[in-house]
Amino acid sequence: MTVQVSPGPILESQGEGDRGNAYLRTLLQQCERQEIASHVEIDGWLQELRQKAAYIVAQQRIPTRKDEEWRFTDVSSLFDSNFQLAQFPQREVAKAEIESFLLPEAQHSTAVFLNGVYAPQLSDLSALPEGVFVGNLAQLSLERNYKAVNLLGKQEGEKEVFTALNTSGFPDVAVVWVGANVAVETPIHLLFLTVAGDTSVFSLPRVLVVAETGSSVQIANQYGAIGGTAPYFTNAVTEIWVQENAQVNHTRNQRETAEGFHIGKTSISQARNSRYTCNALSFGGQLSRHTLNVWQTGEQTETTLNGLTAIAQQQIADTHSTIALNHPHGTTDQLHKCIVRDRAHAIFNGKVFVPKPAQLTNAAQLNRNLLLSPKARVDTKPELQITADNVKCTHGATVSQIEADELFYLQSRGISADSARILLLDAFAAEILDRILIPSLRQTLAKRVAVGNS
């Protein structure tokens, strides 16, 4: 078993960067031809937003392992497939095909998107209370559309190459808008599915969440695929605006198939006295990366980041997070766990910035990793950058195996070796899974952990 925290220089194969940049230009050209499902009244600003993003992408290059932020994650395997921009599927998708992805708790508050485009025939939003909107940008009221001009594509980090690529070509926008002082009791489920086939495709799911002052909402994003065995690429972006004294509990479940590539960005802006919780779950895809950025825009915010990665075979799963605290009395708590089997490779890099204005901050960060085979690998790098002098901050990382003494103890109580291992894995994952507020999802994920993510 290997743990690499500070390896030596990594040499890039000759010409790999040029190949990646040519590939990026091909994707960009397809994005620039993408049509938008929107009102005529707002096409002007959307077109301007996309054109600016396309210009940003054109000035950049594909990240390589020479870049510090990508040193452990090689995306060159993307270039092996000739991805075509996915369109709304021509064939009819039956309700039965998506049944395994649905959440009973959100039976009447689910919005389904196929290849990034809203599918109202598969959605059911009949249980939404007054003051809550869920749908796409085209259905949003004109008043909120004009407010969206100042929100969509306005988070920090929009110039990152994959984020800008999404902005340059998203075909639709999933919108959750919760009015002031509205509390949503049932979870809102946003289901994004790639309809795969014989052709390799890439899709650009986009989400905008606005929780107005004093509101409370629980949201579950889920990513997966149906049909076909060709490779596919999901490049997803979610922007969340948590206004003053609002509360958002957000679960992000990435369960792509073995043929999938997934690169995702979640950006959150937290106003004064707001509370944000993210449960980031990564189980699928041959290569996945989730970048999570939280920006504090007012004092006394609470941020809780829970993460669980469970991978096997030769999967690669990368988690990068940044929490930027710029005001006093902020509280952050991050716990990310990885279960790594076979020859899989997990990466964690978490940053917490506490500059001088962020006095009286309380920040905790911990990454715990469980390696289940001699070839399993994890690269972990928790970081705290502190210039404030009146704070309480901790961080750390642990890497371990299943202890032989623990297995022996359980077997001595009449439990088989296989059952003992499942019990220990369940105990390791339970600290994260127990924080998920959706029982059916919690049970499904616990089973996947137990059987090795098959």
Q: How far apart are CA 68 and CA 48, in angstroms?
A: 31
Pure H helices in 64-193: 95-98, 142-148, 161-169
Residue 103: both structure tokens together: 């959440």
Q: How much is the mean pLDDT over the chain?
A: 91
What pLDDT band is residue 417 in, cutting at 50, 70 and 90? confident
Residue 432, both tokens: 């994260």
Helix (H, G, I), strand (E, B) or coil at 362: strand
| pLDDT confidence bin for 450, thresholds 50/70/90 | confident
Task: State the pTM of this model.
Answer: 0.93
- Measure the CA–CA gap between 207 and 205, rounded to whole angstroms: 7
Three-state SS at 453: coil
**pLDDT value of residue 10:** 32
Is the separation of the CB atoms in 382 and 347 below 8 Å?
A: no
- Asked if the model's pLDDT at residue 408 lies above 70, the reply is no
Q: Is the pLDDT of residue 37 over 60?
A: yes
Residue 42, pLDDT score: 60
CA-wise closest residue to 34 among 122, 142, 115, 111: 115
Q: Which two tokens stand for residue 57?
A: 């992408």
Confidence at 43, pLDDT banded by 50, 70, 90? low
**pLDDT the model gives residue 12:** 39
Cα distance from N-terminal residue to C-terminal residue, the chain:
22
Is the pLDDT score of 17 beyond 70? no
Q: For residue 203, which of 34, 80, 364, 399 has the smallest C-alpha distance?
A: 34
**Alpha helices, DSSP H, located in 385-438:** 404-412, 417-433
For 155-175, what is the mean pLDDT? 95
The full set of domain ranges for the chain reads: 18-298, 404-454
Predicted pLDDT of residue 228: 81
Per the CB < 8 A criterion, the answer to whether 49 and 173 are in contact is no
